[in-house]
Structure 1
Amino acid sequence: MNRRQMLRAALAPALVVGFGAACGEPPPPASKVNVVDPGTPASATPSPTPSLPAAPLTGLPVSAAAVAERQAVAVPLRVSPSTTPYGLDAADLVYAEFAESDTLHLTAVFQSRDAAKVGPVTEIRPVDIRSVAVLRPFVGYAGGPTGFLTQFEKSGLAGVTPADGKVFASGHTSTAALWKAAPKGGQPPTPALDHATDGAALAARDLVPARELTVSVAGGPPMIWRYDQQKSHWVGKVGTATVTAASVIVLTMEYRTLDVRHPSPRSLPAANVFGEGAVVAVSGPSGAKGRWRKPGLQLVCTIADNGGDMLHPQPGNAWVIYAPTSAKVTVK
């Protein structure tokens, strides 16, 4: 069963598709015969330029065929309003969790593009594991609480920390260093989104024009994205950096408090990534509402409109924002 079939099976009743076969008559004989003078070489028909495959996480053609088959790498980042994050615009996917105070915990996933500098790299958290385990990336992270490290080990993911080798420098890493450190035989990621093809709309119903998306959460400044029509992408600010995305997808979900004991006692907010809830998505100049569903660790999070049809974000990089149920999400 391919990905599109699996997604429709997860969200809708059985679909019955009828196929028909038609018998064609043989073509009429050619009305003209091309004769080539033995002394004159026949002009060769130019070979068509081979098309490059699409990257599994963006739906865009890759720079070289081998790129589509390489394993993804993922990096958790901790960003405050005064932090300058690196590498985010090269990521195919970025997952964002609202963390302590006014900080964000980001999970950046790279597969189709390289980043010479990624960071600041932070500890592994349950949201990282639950977001990317289905994508099978190699993870670069800065340790973490004992319980979180145990969850990471049980997930089947492989990774590297500053204690494991020369992959990090001053709290940062690079995709080249991570791919070099990754074990051989890593598999390319499962597509995470059902990208639009041939100019298809974001949603089959309730589509609205969109030029600004705002996610307001208590205790921190709002996250605001604005559509740049000239460049056909969404623009936001994370820390001190300006970031862009083809699509921004907001998943509303419950947050809970995790009490960490080792190595230092503290309480952390954590998004409950498993389950289902409301979706607000913007892609291109359009917005749509719907529902998301992610039953478990090794299952893709599906997003559909309110009629049960899949949402189709435009090809390109995407940000997936985990908004608490108390957040206010607006599109205008």
Structure 2
Amino acid sequence: MTAGLYGCAESGSDPAPTRPPATPGQARSPFTGLPARTDAPVLAVKIDNVVPARPHTGLGAADLVYVEQVEGGQTRLLAVYSSRIPDRVGPVRSARESDIELLRQFGNPALAYSGSHSGLKPLLAGAPLDLLTPASVPGAYTRGDDRPAPHNLYLLPDRALDAVPEAQHPEDIGFRFGPAPAGGEPVNKLTERFPAARYTFTWSAADRGWRVAMDGTPARTTDGGPLTATNVVVQQVTVRPSRFEDFLGSVSPYTETVGSGPARVLRDGRAHDARWSRPDAASGTTLTTPDGAPLNLAPGRTWIVLVPRG
């Protein structure tokens, strides 16, 4: 076992979409590098990630999954959909102030969430987001009977997107896809830790991707089996207190996604040291090698783990 830059590294089936993927010859998604519809909506969903909220539903269909720190050192997921829209996604939970800055690089996407701090509501309302909440589109949410509230609220994406027929289409967010850079370190497993959560990514040649585990348990979905990622971007960021607190009085962290810093990119069973850069909120996030050359991702799904700077 060798220590990675941001964690412990050891050397060494997707759900069927309800909307069909693009056919060859169409434009390629700026989110995955794969053929995709040019008129597809962009839908971000804030997803619960504590143990009672697992297994998730619809998470395996996301083009991008961001891991963000929240109160108590726990994490929440922000999943971005466009290439494939599943029947159901969840469990859905509340938004955070950091989501506004993070999503600005997507233009004017739709955001589905179940609530927020009262002081955050004016900021969300003023942001370039199409807000899809249980109050604004009640017919697009449903409660499951397999687990207790609040971990049983699910979004019905097709119904939600019907409310925003002019939803934002995918646009460049800075990622590039293509051959891997030279070098890199062979890695079988990488673990990243938050104060009260940890994620492990294990290379699976059979899946041609990284199997995801959360808090030591292999992650799966109710509708698609094990969770995998084609790429994992470990992005070291500043996490500072925000001006908001939860109902228990814990201060909500603010994850800064504008700026630059070290990163590590996992693809094809190897880890590559990298730099990330995002000069302003309206810009995308670029990844480069240590010598400044663009660092390509492998075409497919990417998880972006926003870890606090050491």
Quick check: 1:168 aligned with 2:141?
yes
TM-score norm. by structure 1 comes to 0.75
**Change beyond 3 A, Cα 1:188–1:222:** closer
Deviation at 1:103, TM superposition (A): 2.5
Cα distance in 1, alignment partners of residues 280 and 295 from structure 2: 20
Question: Which whole-Å deviations, capped at 9, do the CAs of 1:263-317 have from their partners, x for residues lacking one?
Answer: 8754112212121111011011221011111122211011111101111010001
Partner of 1:139: 111
User: Which whole-Å CA distance do the structure 2 matches of 1:216 and 1:266 have between them?
Assistant: 20
Over alpha carbons, which structure has the higher Rg?
1
Counterpart mapping for 1:5-154 below 5 A = 51-62=25-36, 67-84=37-54, 85-101=56-72, 103-135=74-106, 136-154=108-126
Aligned residues of 1:252 and 1:323 also touching (Cα < 8 A): yes
Q: CA deviation at 1:221?
A: 4.2
Deviation at 1:234, TM superposition (A): 0.6
Separation in 2 of the partners of 1:78 and 1:316? 23
> How many Å separate the matches in 2 of 1:183 and 1:148?
26
Secondary structure, in 3 states, of the residue corresponding to 1:134? helix
Pairing 1:157-196 to 2, within 5 Å after superposition: 157-165=129-137, 166-170=139-143, 171-184=153-166, 186-196=168-178
Map Cα deviations across residues 88-110 of structure 1 (whole Å, 9 max, x no partner). 11000011112223531111000
| Secondary structure at 2:206 match in 1 | coil
CA–CA distance in 2 between the matches of 1:192 and 1:143? 30
Counterpart residue identity of residue 169, structure 1: T
Supply the distance in 2 between the matched residues of 1:238 and 1:137 (Cα, whole angstroms): 28
Q: With CA pairs under 8 Å and 6+ residues apart, which has the higher RCO, 1 or 2?
A: 2
> Given that residues 197 and 214 in structure 2 are in contact (C-alpha distance below 8 angstroms), is that contact kept between their aligned partners in structure 1?
no
Distance 1:260 1:102, change over 3 A: closer
1:178 match: secondary structure? helix
User: 2:74, 2:164 → 1: CA distance?
Assistant: 29
Deviation at 1:50, TM superposition (A): 6.6
The residue aligned with 1:37 is none
1:324 — aligned with what? 308
Specify the code of the residue in structure 2 equivalent to 1:176: D
* CA separation of 1:237 and 1:181: change in aligned 2, threshold 3 A: farther
8 A contact 1:233–1:247 mirrored in 2: yes
Give the C-alpha shift of residue 320 in structure 1: 0.4
Instruction: Name structure 2 gaps, 5 residues minimum.
Output: 1-22, 144-152, 221-225
Q: Which SS does the other structure have where 1:131 is aligned? A: helix
SS in 1 for 2:88: coil
1:267 match? 251
Distance 1:156 1:225, change over 3 A: same
Matching residue of 2:206 = 230
Task: Choose from 279, 282, 297 the match for 1:313.
Answer: 297
Letter of the structure 1 residue corresponding to residue 141 of structure 2 = F
CA contact (8 A) 1:249 1:319 kept: yes
- SS of residue paired to 1:210: strand
Partner Cα separation in structure 2 for residue 82 and residue 185 of structure 1:
32
Alpha-carbon separation, structure 2, partners of 1:272 and 1:139: 19
The AA in structure 2 aligned to 1:282 is L
TM-score by length of structure 2 reads 0.80
The corresponding residue for 1:288 is: 272
Residue 6 (structure 2) aligns with: none
Partner Cα separation in structure 1 for residue 40 and residue 275 of structure 2: 31
Distance 1:261 1:322 in 2: 20
**Contact 1:81-1:102 at 8 Å conserved across structures:** no
AA of the residue aligned to 1:115: P
Using the alignment, how far apart are the partners of 2:75 and 2:100 within structure 1? 16
